[in-house]
Amino acid sequence: MTDPRLAEIEHLLTHRADGLYGLHAVTQREHALQAAWSAEQAGHPAPLIVACLLHDIGHLVHDLGENPAAEGVDDRHEALGDAYLRRHFGPEVTEPVRLHVAAKRYLCATEEGYFDRLAPDSVLSLSLQGGPMSPAEVAAFRALPQAEAAVILRRYDEEAKVEGLETPSVAHFMPLVAACLRPA
């Protein structure tokens, strides 16, 4: 029998992810699949691949609209996604998801040129999310156990906006999702 948690996640990715990803010409599903596929192609472990696949699940479990930042709203999708995912996964999956917005703030503060490569909608959301981190925030972020994984996820998140890129399907990633689920 199929685990109902898997069925729910697969349903979200196949039936709730048709909306555009921000101002890009890719859907939420395409964005998720591109991020996960990049992580898989790079040989990352299953929890990071699953985190890449599900990093924007907060957009799918709540109706936040396609571009709330354009309306001046920080949708806190990372917190919404974390709250949803913690019911099913351990911190190897949930923490990179929870921290992927903080990772953007971190990279803007620590990596020369990172801010300049952000897409316009990402720049707008950054301003709503607190802007680049302060030195104290950078130090606190670096001390987190999943900070490195969150930065890796963030890099795949930024790249996962390629119109027409062929990726595996949602079904391809479901065995990895299953492998990462906490026991029921």
- B/e letters for 136-166, b = 16+ CB within 10 Å, e = fewer, are eeeeebeebebbebbbbbbbbbbebbeeeee
The pTM of the full predicted model, rounded to 2 decimals, is 0.90
Closest by CA to 92, choosing from 5, 184, 3, 179, is: 179
Angle at alpha carbon of residue 178, lines to 177 and 179, rounded to 5°: 90
Residue-level pLDDT, tens digit, the chain, 184 residues: 489 999 999 999 999 888 766 656 789 899 999 999 999 999 999 999 999 999 989 877 876 555 554 454 445 677 888 999 999 999 999 999 999 989 999 999 999 999 999 888 788 778 778 899 999 999 999 999 999 999 999 999 999 989 999 999 999 999 999 999 999 8
For the domain made up of 14-162, give the CATH fold.
Hypothetical protein af1432 (1.10.3210)
